[in-house]
Amino acid sequence: MPLNYAETPEQIEEERRLLYVGVTRAREHLAVTWSLARQPGGRGSRKPSRFLDGLRPGRQSRAGTRASRSVTSRTKSPARCRICGTALVEAAARKLGRCGDCPSSVDEELFEQLRAWRLERAQEQKVPAYVVFTDATLTALAETKPADEAALRAVPGVGQSKLERYGPEVLKMCREASPEHATDDTRK
């Protein structure tokens, strides 16, 4: 909980139902916890279910009075494709920031450079390559070519620890692959 992709009224009601079922199964004690990140090293921005607002000790409801606002008015808007604007539902599409049908603007040379770099880091750390970054994150990096830390942080799959661990190297590769950098090199 919460269901990250619950956006339609039916999906939100399913989230409410699942929480109700889970909470009402407790016989004597109930402990409700949540993780700040979905995976170790991930972005620590997860929040508890919206249906716990006002129930946790010392917390106010995000919605004010429950009767005055509908469930759908409290939900965040769905991620949109940066090319066509369609709502993104599938996890891979959300990670890439575009529909699978929309054309990719991936810089193939940068993507291959990132893959080689990822393999080196994975071998150094003795972990599978996807632990460093997934292919979807590498694709998003090669499409968006973040130029600064804020833009890099906005790429799905780049949490705080990965930003600290890999940020400078990734930003350098992305900057060197940008058209502005190529223009600067031709002037020299």
- pLDDT, tens digit, 9 for 90 and up, residues 19-38: 788 888 888 887 777 777 77
Task: Report the pLDDT value the prediction gives residue 171, as an integer from 0 to 100.
Answer: 94
- Name the residue among 101, 105, 117, 102 with its Cα closest to residue 170: 117
Mean pLDDT by runs of 10 across the 188 residues of the chain is 68 81 82 74 72 63 41 52 80 78 86 94 93 90 91 87 92 84 47
Written as six digits, the tokens of 65 are 């009075």
Superfamily of domain 108-187: HRDC domain (1.10.150.80)
Task: Report the pLDDT value the prediction gives residue 184, as an integer from 0 to 100.
Answer: 46
Start-end ranges of CATH 1.10.150.80 in the chain? 108-187
Model confidence, pTM: 0.54
Task: Report the pLDDT value the prediction gives residue 119, as an integer from 0 to 100.
Answer: 95
50 touches 73 (CB < 8 A): no
